[in-house]
Each structure stands twice: as structure tokens, then as C-alpha cells.
């Protein structure tokens, strides 16, 4: 009877609320079982549910919108990964299903076009491009631009000159015309469509006669064609159309193009000519030196540094030139060259101090 009463008291004690003293006691290790006797809390499911409820209460409208966008992006990225993996769509129906969640993705539309072209269905590929222009959100200019470029590529490959020019004309009306002209010149140059390339160059130089980017693209095209006379003529024409404030930019970048796509000697000649008129333009000296360093002719490089560091320039600009020269000697020269630069720099500092 006493044992039963004792057991009852013990059982009731486990149901009774803990005293303050008991609550602050650290859990003790049960020496028999090896486990700590911890106070039982809510289940993991209850914790998760509680956190979700708290999150729902705390999320603002903006946060909810951001979370929804993140979820949509994750879904779209998952769909795009399908295009690149083993589970890539293998039928028109699968592409159509993919477009339901990725209607604004030019990547998906262009892949769909390529799939149809691989089946020989050029007309259907054209139709898909037209659908893309209607389906892609009007704010997604870059996505629509990509589809226009893809369609122009299609016409350039499978159409004729008439359909290609017609497509280009439509694209120019619905996209950034300058960018589209530049994209078209790349397409026509790669495919060696000389007639289309010439028409494109003529049209864009007339429409964007005040754009150095357009003129420089034409200069580069002429150099790639090996036509140095046409490149020089293009430079001369550009200077007649461009504002004077753009002349130095146009001439110096033409010199850069000569180094990269034409003849380095002509590039040097252009730089020398412009430096005669603007001998104190540090940016021109720096770019000229960069090109000579890339050619690797150490004698020319050192001669250029010598000339530049003997100019009457402000101390800050001279410091920049001496540092560049010193960096060059440390990286590609020798101890003798490094010492020479240091002595030249010291001589300049002393001359400034005496003046």
C-alpha cells in the first residue's frame, strides 16, 4: 500500500509543472542509459509549421513579390537546364510545354527554331520566331532582339537576298537600329555575303554618320578584308561627318585597329601623327605604349618611354609614365634597365626641385 502510494506520488510529480529552480537546472546525464534527460519540446513538424506561420505574418507585400519572382526564376532555370541536359526536348510538343513557363526566354525560342531547322521545317521555324515577338513581354527588349538576330541568321542561311533584306528592314523598325546594323554586319561578314555587307555598311554610315562606333566598325571590316585603301578612305569620310570633339577618338581607335587587324606600321604612323598635334595627351601615349608592348619589340618600347619621359608634363603625369616604365623593366627587362629608369626618374625630380 505504501509502495503504491509512493508510486502514485512519483507519477503525479512527473505531470506537475516544474518549479523555477527545476527549470533552470541543466540536464543531467543518465548514467544508466547514457542519454541526457532533456525536456520534451514541440515536434519538428510543429516547429516548421510555426516558423512558416511567423514568416507569413512578417512578410511584406514586397517580400512576397520577391519570393514569388525567385520561385518563378527557379522554375525557369530548371526548365532551361533541361535544354542542355540529357532530358532536352525531343519534340515540338515538349518545346511547347517548356514555353508555357518560359515564354519570355529568347534562349528557349531560339532552341525551338534550331530544332525545327534540324528537321528541315524552315517555314515552321519562321512561324515560331513570329510567335516569339508576340509572346515575349514588351519590356524584354533584349530578348526580342536576340530572336530578331536568330531570324536574320535563318534568312541569311536559308532565304535569299530579298527575304534577308526584308527581315533586316523589319528588325530595324522594332529594335535598336544601331545595334541591329552592327549585328547584321557580323552575320554578313561571317557568311561572306559581300553584297549584303556592302549595302549594310552604306546604309548604316548614312543613318548614323555621327557615330564613331559605326565608322570604326566599317574601318575594321575594311581591314579584315585586307583593303587598307578603303580603310583609309573610311577614316577620311568619318572625319567629314563626325563632330570635331570626336576626331581624336576616331583617329586613335583607327590606329588601334591597325595594330590589331591591319598593319602595325600604319598604326604607328597614325599615332605619331596625332601625337604631333597633341603631344601632352597622356592617354594617347599610354595607349600607344600598350600596343608596342604587345608587339614585343623592346627597343621600340624603350625608345617610346624615353621620348614620353622627356616631355614637359606635370609631375603627376610624369610619375605615371616612370611607374609604367619601371613596371615594364621589372617584368620584361633586367636590373640594368630598372636602374636606368630609377636614375631618369631621380633626374626629373631634381630638375623639378631646381626650377
Q: Which is more confident, 25 or 68? A: 68
Nearest partner of 151 among 135, 166, 134, 139, judged by Cα: 166
What pLDDT score was predicted for residue 44? 37
What pLDDT score was predicted for residue 333? 86
Read off the DSSP letter of residue 260.
H
Structural domains in the chain, CATH included, are: 69-191 (1.25.40)
Once rounded to an integer, what is the mean pLDDT over residues 81-96? 77
What pLDDT score was predicted for residue 16? 37
CA distance 217 to 219: 5
Q: Which is more confident, 74 or 88? A: 88
Which range (15-29, 136-150, 211-225) has the least confidence?
A: 15-29
Whether 99 contacts 112, CB under 8 Å:
yes
Whether 118 contacts 88, CB under 8 Å:
no
Full DSSP string of 292-325: HHHHT-HHHHHHHHHHHTTS---HHHHHHHHHHH
Whether 182 contacts 201, CB under 8 Å:
no
Full DSSP string of 200-235: HHHHHHHHTTT-HHHHHHHHHHHHHTT-HHHHHHHH
pLDDT tens-place string over residues 33-76: 333 333 334 443 443 344 444 444 567 777 777 887 776 666 55
CA distance 321 to 326: 9
What pLDDT score was predicted for residue 87? 65
Which range (47-61, 198-212, 241-255, 304-318) has the least confidence?
A: 47-61
pTM attached to this predicted model: 0.73
Q: Compute the mean pLDDT over every residue in the chain, rounded to the nearest whole number.
A: 83
Whether 115 contacts 93, CB under 8 Å:
no
CA distance 221 to 201: 9
Decide if pLDDT at 189 tops 50: yes
Whether 270 contacts 283, CB under 8 Å:
no
C-alpha dihedral, 335 to 336 to 339 to 345, nearest 10°? -120
pLDDT tier, 108 (very low <50, low <70, confident <90, very high otherwise):
very high
- Cα–Cα distances (Å) from 315 to 24, 60, 297, 345, in that order, read 72, 57, 28, 11
pLDDT tens-place string over residues 311-347: 988 999 999 999 999 999 999 988 999 999 999 999 8
What pLDDT score was predicted for residue 63? 78
pLDDT tier, 89 (very low <50, low <70, confident <90, very high otherwise):
confident
Report the percent of the chain where pLDDT is more than 70.
78
Report the percent of the chain where pLDDT is more than 90.
69
Q: Which residues, listed in sequence order, are joined to residue 36 by a DSSP beta bridge? A: 29
What pLDDT score was predicted for residue 69? 72
What pLDDT score was predicted for residue 34? 32
Handedness of CA 227, 228, 229, 235 (dihedral sign): positive
Decide if pLDDT at 123 tops 50: yes
Amino acid at each position: 500500500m505504501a509502495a503504491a502510494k509512493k508510486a502514485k506520488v512519483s507519477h503525479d510529480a512527473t505531470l506537475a509543472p516544474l518549479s523555477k529552480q527545476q527549470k533552470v537546472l541543466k540536464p543531467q546525464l543518465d548514467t544508466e542509459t547514457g542519454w541526457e534527460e532533456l525536456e520534451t519540446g514541440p515536434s519538428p513538424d510543429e516547429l516548421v509549421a510555426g516558423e512558416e506561420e511567423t514568416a507569413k505574418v512578417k512578410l511584406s507585400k514586397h517580400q512576397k513579390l520577391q519570393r514569388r519572382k525567385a520561385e518563378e526564376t527557379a522554375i525557369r532555370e530548371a526548365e532551361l537546364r533541361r535544354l542542355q541536359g540529357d532530358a532536352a526536348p525531343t519534340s515540338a510538343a515538349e518545346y511547347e510545354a517548356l514555353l508555357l513557363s518560359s515564354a519570355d526566354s529568347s534562349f528557349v525560342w531560339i532552341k525551338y527554331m534550331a530544332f525545327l531547322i534540324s528537321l528541315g521545317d524552315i517555314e515552321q521555324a519562321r512561324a515560331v520566331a513570329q510567335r516569339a515577338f508576340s509572346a515575349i513581354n514588351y519590356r524584354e527588349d533584349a530578348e526580342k532582339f536576340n530572336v530578331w538576330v536568330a531570324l536574320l541568321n535563318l534568312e541569311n542561311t536559308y532565304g535569299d537576298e530579298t527575304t534577308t533584306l526584308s527581315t533586316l528592314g523589319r528588325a530595324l523598325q522594332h529594335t535598336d537600329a544601331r545595334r541591329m546594323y552592327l549585328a547584321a554586319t557580323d552575320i554578313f561578314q561571317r557568311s561572306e555575303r559581300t553584297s549584303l555587307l556592302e549595302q549594310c555598311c552604306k546604309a548604316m554610315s548614312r543613318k548614323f554618320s555621327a557615330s564613331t562606333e559605326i565608322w570604326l566598325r566599317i574601318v575594321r571590316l575594311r581591314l579584315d578584308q585586307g583593303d587598307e585603301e578603303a580603310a583609309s578612305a573610311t577614316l577620311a569620310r568619318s572625319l567629314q561627318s563626325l563632330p570635331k570633339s570626336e576626331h581624336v577618338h576616331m583617329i586613335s581607335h583607327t590606329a588601334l585597329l591597325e595594330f590589331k587587324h591591319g598593319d602595325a606600321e600604319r598604326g604607328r604612323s597614325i599615332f605619331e601623327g596625332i601625337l604631333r598635334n597633341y603631344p601632352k595627351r597622356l592617354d594617347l601615349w599610354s595607349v600607344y605604349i600598350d600596343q608596342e608592348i604587345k608587339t614585343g619589340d623592346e627597343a621600340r618600347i624603350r625608345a617610346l618611354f624615353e621620348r614620353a619621359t622627356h616631355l614637359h608634363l606635370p609631375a603627376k603625369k610624369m610619375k605615371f609614365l616612370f611607374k609604367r616604365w619601371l613596371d615594364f623593366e621589372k617584368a620584361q627587362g633586367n636590373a640594368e634597365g630598372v636602374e636606368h629608369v630609377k636614375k631618369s626618374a631621380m633626374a626629373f625630380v631634381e630638375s623639378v626641385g631646381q626650377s
